[in-house]
Homo-oligomer: A and B are copies of this chain.
Amino acid sequence: MANSAHIEGTPNPNVSIDCVVFGFDNEKLKVLLIEQKNKGSINAQFALPGDLVLEDEDLHQSATRILKELTDLEGIYLKQFKTFGDPNRVRDVKDQEWLRTFREDPEARVITVAYYSLVKMEDYIPQAASLAGKVIWQNVDEVPQLAFDHNQIVNEALERLREEFEYKNVGYELLPKKFTLSMLQKLHEIILGIELDKRNFRKKIKKSEVLIPLEEKQSGVDHKPAQLFRYKSSSR
């Protein structure tokens, strides 16, 4: 059955990946942006790291590859969170000179599968230049106007990060391998957007038994050094 109308000339869409990479510098939550120096425009144009999905690539593979190519980041937490498909969100892929690959229908719409990622900032210094342009860390509350619908993508990524943070224990992906309880508390406060009581916070962490105290204390501070901890379950 089925009136299988083959619509001649209806192009398949381009499919891309965009990554919202979060970092935490112990003060602010940051997001990784790429500065595009294309089309000779005067003002810097910022965008999320992203590119088209290749022909025989799984989406997660693709996200991993693209992030590596554009930012040199590897082996980090990557979570698909939403696909954006407004028909007008991007038109005409070939105008985007920084893209690595063009496809058969460069003028077709672009549907993008968005991922968010969590990075230990101590492990990553943005390359001065990547294939795509300059890579920078930007405070999430000071993100400039980005290309396409990338501001919206960042905002929705943030929402999802908050939600996931509350019921999964995903925060350690943003901290150094060794960290203090104050750093952990600060991270919670910033992601949840609330202040926490020091004693109650420590009580709760202790009961949850996810941390292991190290034989080591903080160094390089001009006050009482804090105990360092690491997460139990992972040897990351």
Contacts and interface: CB of A to CB of B under 8 A. Distances in A.
**How many identical subunits does the complex contain?**
2
Interface string A83-96: 11111000000100
A193 interface: no
Interface string A2-35: 1111111111111100000000000000000000
A9 B105 CA distance: 10
A117 B132 CA distance: 39
B103 A2 contact: no
B109 A55 contact: yes
A12 to B, nearest CB: 4
A20 to B, nearest CB: 16
A4 B102 contact: yes
Nearest to A131: B2
Given A13-B15, A85-B113, A4 B104 contact: no
A57 interface: yes
A215 interface: no
